Amino acid sequence: MKKMLILLLVLFTMPATAGLKPYEGEGPTPPLTLTDIQGTMHDLAAYQGKVVLVQFWATYCAPCRKEMPSMNRLIEKMGNTPFVILAVNMGETQEEVEAFVEEVGPEFPILMDPDGESIGAWQVFAAPSNFVVGADGKIHYTLFGGVEWDDDELVAQLKELANE
């Protein structure tokens, strides 16, 4: 338990210049089929051909709250690049998430995982946990902790992945 708390503390205090790390997991990309806060179903498999940032987050996560505006700016910077963000809430109520969305204003789908079922499949242990899925449907990068997503280096990495 002590190690987990220390790890979480490190993740929540990561510098804003942290970069994407090559994914070292094994096996296929876990499935992800969830509804958004409006009730629309999203299936990760339907986004094949695009780079997808899958973020697991929570309303009580300070770095999550801080970085979402930079995620909006990232979408703008990606321009016509085939790119989408799917932000998966980790087990909170619809009311909690809607209040957060109204306050923070994310401009991308907020998926609901009220039972936290996808957390296990994706091996998520902290918020925020980020996975970058390439156009081939495979996870290429991870990033654990908060970051300014519109950082030019991150944008370049994502555009490069989209052009592969």
pLDDT tens-place string over residues 133-151: 999 999 999 999 999 999 9
Strands (E), the chain: 21-22, 33-36, 41-43, 51-57, 83-90, 110-113, 129-133, 139-144
Measured distance CA(124)–CA(131) in Å, rounded:
10
Distance between CA 61 and CA 92 in Å, rounded? 12
CATH, residue 62 = 3.40.30.10
pTM: 0.89
Whether omega before 128 lies within 30 degrees of 0, making that bond cis, reads yes
Domain membership flag for residue 1: no
Mean pLDDT, the chain, whole residue set: 89
Residue range of the domain that includes 74: 47-162
Query: Is 58 within the bounds of a domain?
Result: yes
